[in-house]
Each structure stands twice: as C-alpha cells, then as structure tokens.
Amino acid sequence: MVDAHRTFVIVGGGLAGSKAAEALRAEGFTGRVILIGDERDHPYERPPLSKGYLAGSDERESVFVHEPAWYAGADIELHLGQTVVRLDRAGKSVELGDGTRLHYDKLLLATGAEPRRLDIPGTSLASVHHLRRLAHADRLRGRLTALGQENGHLVIAGAGWIGLEVAAAAREYGAEVTVVEAEPAPLHSVLGPEMGMLFADLHREHGVRFHFGARLSEITGADGMVQSVRTDDGDEHPAHDVLAAIGAAPRSALAEAAGLDLAEGTGGVAVDSALRTSDPDVYAAGDVAALRETPWGGPLRVEHWANALNSGPAAARSMLGRDVVYDRVPYFFSDQYDVGLEYSGWAPPGSYDQVVCRGDVAKREFIAFWLRDNRVLAGLNVNVWDVTGAVQDLIRSGRPVGRDALADPDVPLADLAGGGN
C-alpha cells in the first residue's frame, strides 16, 4: 500500500526515469512515485530508434522499458504527454503545463537531451528529419522504405553515431546516402583520426558517399519537399530527405530557470558522485546530468544508453539515503552492417598520446586502446566479444602497461590490469 506522506517525483519519461522508478520500488520505497513524461508513449529505450527498429528487424513493442500494465502494478503514477514548466524549489513543487502542481519530498531530473537543429535556410521543409523520439523513428522508417523503393537520396548532416547508424539502415533499405561532416573523418570527436577513417571505409564499401570538411549551408526544395542541399564550400548534392544528426543538447532549461548549478562546458545539470544537484533534495540522472568530477576528469556528461540505464537506479538509491558513488566507466555500443562494437572510457582527441591495437584491423576484428603515459584511457572492441569487463578493469586500474604486451593477443588483458606487462 502506498504511503502518501512521502512523494518522490521524477521528471522525464525515458530510460533513466523509468529505471529510477523501478529501483525505488525494488529498494522498498512505499511512498508515492510520480513519473512525468512529455511524450504520450510509455517510457522506451532509444538505441533501437537508430538500430533494430529503424532497420525493420525489431517490432515497435520491443522498445518499451516495461509493459504498460507494469506501472499500475508497481503503483507508479504516470503523467504522460505532460510538460513540467516550472520547478519551485522553495515550495518543493513542480508545475505542469495544464496548471497542475505536484509536491515532492525528493525530485529527480531525468529530462534527457534534444537534437541540435540546423540553423540554415530550408529546415522547415517537410522531409527534414531529426531522430530522438519514437515518433521521429516511426516517420523516418517510413521514409527510408520509400527512398529504397524509389532510389531516393538521403543526405545526413553529421557523421557521429546516429548519423552512421541511420546511414547503414538507409543503405539496407536501398536508399542512396550522402553524409556531410565538418570534421576530417567520422566520429572524429570520439575516436580521433586513427580510428575514424576505418568507419568511412566501412560505409564506402556499402555505397555511402562522404563529404568531409564541410557543413550544410542551405536546403532547397519546392512544394514543401526537399530537392537538394548545398554546402558551405560550394558543392550541391541531390536529396529527397535530410537528417540532422549534429549532436544533442541537454534539456537543462528547467533546472537553469530554478537556479540549479550547471556544469561548465557541458550545459548539463551539475551533480556530485551521489547524483545530487546543488539542491540537496533535487537529483539528476541520464543525459542531462554532468558529473562535476570523475576518475577521467570533469565535468563529464555522457549521453549513452548505459549511463541512463545505470544512473537512474543509482540516483534512486541516493534519494533513499543510501551511500552511492556513481563512477562507472562510460560505455556505449553500435551496430553498423556486419560490424558490432563496444567502446569504454573517454579519450577525446588531445587527451591521449598513442593508439595501440591488438587483433586484425583489416578484418575489423580487433581491440584498440587509447593511452596517455602508457595508461589506458579508453578501449574499442570491434567484432571481438566478452572483453568489455577486462578493458574497463584496465582503465580503472590506471596502471602503466607495455605497448608490446597490450598489442599481443596472447597476453590476457586481465594480467595487464593486474599489473603484468
């Protein structure tokens, strides 16, 4: 039976918010749990939106975190299709768009992120897309089907993970694909030049065209539909649809308006290792949260699925007064054509001094390690499985490792994490 004397409110109906609600009940919390989401769909996972669901291999129902009946069974009060327009920290309440005010004893902000928009002429045309929500994936999936049937052209602005995954899905439908990217290689901000071109080669083998070192400057069309795109270096590409995949921004406006601290350089809501904000009764998790300090430096905001999956429950335990230190190694995964990969750690360009590989890079069966001062900062396993734990142990250990041993597949990674080299 629910004890109405304590109320925990969760703002954000995504993976972090729904897993936090689940953890509160699993940890024995008997008070009211109110989950507010601005979409009408029940909470769902986002990776399938650019992977299995978009590609047509997964059914729509497979993306949801829980069956709809689960929420009532767990006494979770759902407010779907509702936006929180104001956070009153002094009064410990939130106000919904319809004027409803909800009191909280503890509040979790799990508002996620939103796709960055192209600030160029032509973005109001009907066939310009973003991919963040299930409704976006529904629409884009239909368009990819049509493009494949009509030999149509999709232009993707941005060669990050979303851009490349959508490119792979579009090619599997049979659409023509051109990717425009300002950096000199795909995934440059994550993998650097050493590994980024590996993915350019992969996509080129499947018929994707790349235009590096340029940005879209205009989308042209007629009768509301896209006809072509122009880039800032003077080129023009045919297009029937355009996807803006130029990153995402944390949805931190609610927190900022309420006077909560934001983490410099990230735009995210600043949290400590227990996922507490600058207000002791307000917590943040998932894409919107930025850890002030981590073993990999800080502040750090991680947008990927594993962070939402794990930080939501961690925040729930922290809200309940448990001792929580959230210091998980950042992790994400991707599937593109016949290549599957997992990345652990954090090593943007400029933070490392060498990249070491073990395995066969040419066959795309290898592990790459980013090092600084012979210490592993990050690892990428490509079509090599069951090594993520060992890679993360290496990162956590902070131990110096020998380059030759790291590159030698006969030397167990577990030995290196334990100090052998």
Query: Nearest-CA neighbor of 376 among 412, 340, 416?
Result: 416
Each residue's pLDDT tens digit, 165-204:
999 999 999 999 999 999 999 999 999 888 999 999 999 9
Residues 238 and 134 in one domain: yes
Residue 282 and residue 208 share a domain: no
Do 12 and 93 lie in one domain? The reply is yes
Does 365 reside within a domain?
Answer: yes
Residue 280: both structure tokens together: 């002791």
Residue 421 has pLDDT above 50, yes or no: no
Return the pLDDT at 341: 96
How many angstroms separate the CA atoms of 291 and 259, rounded? 17
Where a domain ends, among 272, 288, 319? 319
Measured at the CA of 127, the angle between CA 223 and CA 229, to 5 degrees, comes to 85
Contact between 39 and 12 (Cβ < 8 Å): no
Among candidate residues 246, 281, 304, the one where a domain is terminated: 246
Any domain includes 132: yes
| Pair 39, 62 in one domain | yes
Is 410 found in the same domain as 367?
Answer: yes
pLDDT of residue 3: 77
310 and 413 share a domain? no
CATH of the domain at 219: 3.50.50.60
**CATH code for the domain of 400:** 3.30.390.30
pLDDT tens-digit readout, 223-259? 889 999 999 999 999 999 999 999 999 999 999 999 9
Beginning with the edge strand found earlier in the chain, give each strand of the sheet holding 106-109 in spatial order. 76-80, 31-37, 3-11, 106-109, 282-284
Question: Number of folded domains in the chain?
Answer: 3
Whether 97 and 133 share a structural domain: no
Tell me the mean pLDDT in the region 31-42: 97
The count of residues in the chain is 421
| Claim to verify: residue 14 and residue 107 sit in the same structural domain | yes
Tell me the average pLDDT of the chain: 95
- The phi and psi torsions of 100 (rounded to 5 degrees) equal -65, 135
Asked whether residue 328 is assigned to any structural domain, the reply reads no
73 shares its domain with 96:
yes
Same domain for 82 and 154, yes or no, is no
Residues 347 and 256 in one domain: no
Pairing relationship of beta strands 339-345 and 375-382 according to DSSP bridges:
antiparallel
Whether 164 and 211 share a structural domain: yes
Q: What is the pLDDT of residue 2?
A: 75
| Domain-embedded: residue 330 | no
Q: What is the pLDDT of residues 63-103, one digit of tens each?
A: 999 999 999 999 999 999 999 999 999 999 999 999 999 99
Q: Residue 324 pairs with which residues in a beta bridge?
A: none
Query: Last residue of some domain: 227, 246, 265?
Result: 246
Residue range(s) defining the domain that contains residue 382: 338-417
Within a domain: 324: no
CB 195 within 8 A of CB 187: yes
pTM to 2 decimals? 0.94
